[in-house]
Amino acid sequence: MAISPPFPPYPPRPPGGAPEDGVLRHAHWWQRRWVRYGALVTLLALSGLVILALVRAQTGTEGFLVGLGLAVLPVPLLVAAFRWLDRVEPGPWRNLVFAFAWGACAAALIAIVANSFATRWIATATADPSSADTLGATVIAPVVEESAKAAAVLLVFLFRRRDFTGIVDGVVIAGITATGFAFTENILYLGTAFGTDQLTGDTGIASVTAATFFVRVIMSPFAHPLFTVLTGIGFGVAALSGDRQHLRRVLLPLGGLLLAMGMHALWNGSSTFGEFGFFAVYAAFMLPAFGLLTWLVVWTRQRELRTVREELPAYAAAGWLTPAEPFALGSMRARRVARDHAGRHLGKAAAREVARYEAYATSLAFLRHRGRRGRANADFVVRERELLNELWRRKDVARPALDHAARVTAPRARMVPPPWPVYGAYGYGAGHGPLQPYGQAPDPGYGYGYGYPPGPAYGSPAGPPPGHPTDHSAPGHPTGHSGPGHPAGPHPSPYPYR
């Protein structure tokens, strides 16, 4: 696996424009990116207007406003939870905005129209409206709603493949889509309940609005995200599969979708299981499932951080990263410290550059991990070079911040002096020294914390250790600047760290 070949700093641009212009110069007009984006935005906007008109027609203006005010309460908490989960390799905001808009507009519109049509058709065919409503809630609604929400995950999986690399990405996209869907559905249910209270005169805790709010917003705001996350997990595992595992890439998302439909059907049908059927299903099934999936996604997040710590040292050995960076990039606390340090000394723009550096480095670690497992895509080498270029462009801002974060957040270790008298930091005599943080004492170099020989700190006046990619006096090292912009690039072999 090539990790440090010399190559030009940026891909060559065709004359007269960006790379896309050269590729799409002779393409049909509907294949242009702005046309696709425009069509998607138009579709979502029209869906939003139609769903707004339908919900307002069923709830009335006053009921719509009440439902909107109550339904929006759990949305920031759910979005923040999924965004926290996505912090290791944060996806672009446009994917999350699309997922939420699809769930709130397109998926909700499909569900309302299809559920109403199917229930009405069953009632007409069977001449039994009550049975039609039960069948529609327990069979038709789960199939239609989960399929409509899964469409957003499928679109991101197909057209934003670089942003969809694993289980966490599937969980986040699916969860945000379901959050948008639940938002619109809660407006409808809460607005309808408020209209019922207006007719009956009920107020306070005894009102239908209060009961609906308690069940849908307090007890089970995670219900729809929980169902659709199963579909997202299926797509996430498929994303980890190789390009040639076609059957696996089809069956896993389909299996996740079927599980989501089954759990949704059980939840909707719980009210038909007797007086306490709803609470029994909630306590015996929904809460354990929620706890299990929460543990799974948090464990997956920790595994991603471990992957970063394990894969990036190869690039540090080749000179693309400093020795401290794999540790700092594999710790969420160290990442936050690095961003804060850059923002405090260089401004918000520098903090954003450090955040981008962290995201690109994480993507690089995941890419190498897939490559070592034989699951890399055909564009592995191109993608690796792109990520290395992005890192090299930001190294002057990001490296000092990450090195600082590594020193601040490294675990403390007891320094044990040798059993003979030594002048200097250890003093005289034997015995256990005080607890000191890695990389800070008795010498500020990284050697004490990262398994490398002690020496001056990176960037200190004493200069980098011999053989470091920035040490131009090292034997055989090219003079001048190293890296992608230099014909030689970073040193092609691992540096002599032990």
Other beta carbons within 10 Å of 442? 15
Residue 445 CA to residue 453 CA, distance in Å, equals 9
CA dihedral 118, 120, 121, 125 (to 10 degrees): 140
Per-residue pLDDT for the chain (498 aa), expressed as one digit of tens each?
444 443 334 444 444 444 444 444 455 655 677 777 888 889 999 999 999 999 999 999 999 999 999 999 999 999 999 999 988 888 889 999 999 999 999 999 999 999 988 888 888 887 777 778 888 888 999 999 999 999 999 999 998 888 888 899 999 999 999 999 999 999 999 999 999 988 888 777 888 999 999 999 999 999 999 999 999 999 999 988 866 777 888 899 999 999 999 999 999 988 788 778 888 899 999 999 999 999 998 898 899 999 999 999 999 998 899 999 999 999 999 999 999 999 999 999 999 999 999 999 999 999 999 888 887 777 788 989 999 999 999 999 999 999 999 998 887 656 566 666 655 544 444 444 444 444 444 433 333 333 333 333 333 333 344 444 444 433 333 333 344 444 334 543 333 333
Residue 249 CA to residue 377 CA, distance in Å, equals 14
Q: What one-character-per-residue DSSP string does 200-245 give?
A: H---GGGSHHHHHHIIIIII-TTHHHHHHHHHHHHHHHHHTS-TT-
Is residue 7 a contact partner of residue 14, using CB atoms and an 8 Å limit?
no
Question: Euclidean distance between the first and final Cα of the chain, in Å?
Answer: 21
Residue 320 CA to residue 147 CA, distance in Å, equals 44
Read off the tokens for 441: 């004492």
Domain spans in the chain, listed from the N-terminal domain onward: 39-309, 312-450
Is residue 173 a contact partner of residue 95, using CB atoms and an 8 Å limit?
yes
Residue 217 CA to residue 72 CA, distance in Å, equals 9
The rounded Cα 288 to chain-centroid distance in angstroms is: 24
Read off the tokens for 65: 């406003």
Beta strands in 5-121 (DSSP E): none
Query: 65, 68, 142, 148: which is closest to 109 by C-alpha?
Result: 148
Residue 24 CA to residue 80 CA, distance in Å, equals 38
